[in-house]
Amino acid sequence: MTVLITGGAGFIGANFVLDWVAHTAEKIVNLDKLTYAGNLESLASLNNNPQHVFVQGDIGDSELLPKLLAEHQPRAVLNFAAESHVDRSIHGPGDFIETNIVGTFRLLESVRGYWQSMGADGQRSFRFLHVSTDEVYGSLTPQDPAFTEQHQYEPNSPYSASKAASDHLVRAWHHTYGLPVLTTNCSNNYGPLHFPEKLIPLMIVNALAGKPLPVYGDGMQVRDWLYVKDHCSAIRRVLEGGRLGETYNVGGWNEKPNIEIVNTVCALLDELRPRSDGQSYATQITYVKDRPGHDRRYAIDARKLEKELGWKPAETFETGIRKTVAWYLDNTEWVAHVQSGAYRDWVTKQYKA
């Protein structure tokens, strides 16, 4: 048996590939375009492992996809491939439209053709699982209840709008063509192998380098934080037992404002890798101009996933963030290699005080 994953060299995708190999003997074919955020070093432990087959390619390649599907005959396709950084979507939305909308459409069409060529038994057991985000639901006030799967879509950034569109395409291909789909909408992930443009790894990397720790606005934007390995276990559970055509919200039950996250990272670094001058890393915190249209609060209600499929996160924020900081301290070579000149130029451009 085989599964095909797209975007498997990115942050969540690479963690899922490693998790899959650790929990099953089933072969996994990994298709990734290897853009700036795709990093094969994250999968170095799988070099020469026949269980993992890597293919460099684009989900929008309508010639490559049918060939891969015909060759490997996967029982499931899991779509992690996406442009996913809100800040980048503000400066250059075109890549997000191309990958998240057009790419998803072309992937769905390739998968539909493959699925329709199967026999009845193969069609019944096949699954297409689409990995999405809580940002499609928009922003909450402090008093609002958390997002459920019935919450109205109200995306506010080019990134979240493009992901909302991809979710709608997946839903339409199920209702129109019968494609057996599942969708997951997750909260903010954190953990090992996270590209250092996102909040937590950026704070760790900048702190250790003696650089400012840029915090948008007043730092009181609230997010629900989900340890990436918990997210991986949730996806495996939805793939195994989720009801066709359904959406499952995946969250960590950890609502925290950004400034609290930054202070927690600083406190852990103070403990695990103290500054030579004895000062706290918190002295490096610098407030910068807020980004346009910055959503104030996201929160995930993951009770449907718990009730139907028995899934709950294994990590608290306290255990997960400690593991995350320790991983970055132990993997400085990975961090150094992933930080190309293009990445450094981006951070300088984005976080002007």
The CA distance from 129 to 144, in Å, is: 29
Which stretch of DSSP H or E encloses residue 233? Answer: helix 228-241
The dihedrals phi and psi of 347, each to the nearest 5 degrees, come to -65, -40
Cβ–Cβ under 8 Å, residues 153 and 136: yes
Beta carbons within 10 angstroms of residue 175's beta carbon = 10
The CA distance from 82 to 225, in Å, is: 20
The CA distance from 178 to 1, in Å, is: 23
Beta carbons within 10 angstroms of residue 338's beta carbon = 21
Cβ–Cβ under 8 Å, residues 347 and 197: yes
Q: Per the residue annotation, which of 83, 87, 134, 295 is the catalytic one?
A: 134
The CA distance from 6 to 57, in Å, is: 9
Q: Per the residue annotation, which of 58, 87, 137, 159 is the catalytic one?
A: 159
Q: Where does 258-311 show beta strands of DSSP type E?
A: 285-288
Active-site residue flag, 159: yes
Beta carbons within 10 angstroms of residue 150's beta carbon = 8
**What is the rounded radius of gyration, in angstroms, for the C-alpha atoms of the chain?**
20
Active-site residue flag, 71: no
Active-site residue flag, 135: yes
Please state the separation of Cα 206 from the chain's center in Å.
Answer: 22
What are the structure tokens assigned to 127, written together?
Answer: 């699954």
Q: Helix, strand or coil for residue 187?
A: coil
Amino acid at 304: K
Q: Per the residue annotation, which of 135, 224, 255, 301 is the catalytic one?
A: 135
Q: Helix, strand or coil for residue 114?
A: helix
What are the structure tokens assigned to 311, written together?
Answer: 């899934």
- Tell me the catalytic residues: 134-135, 159
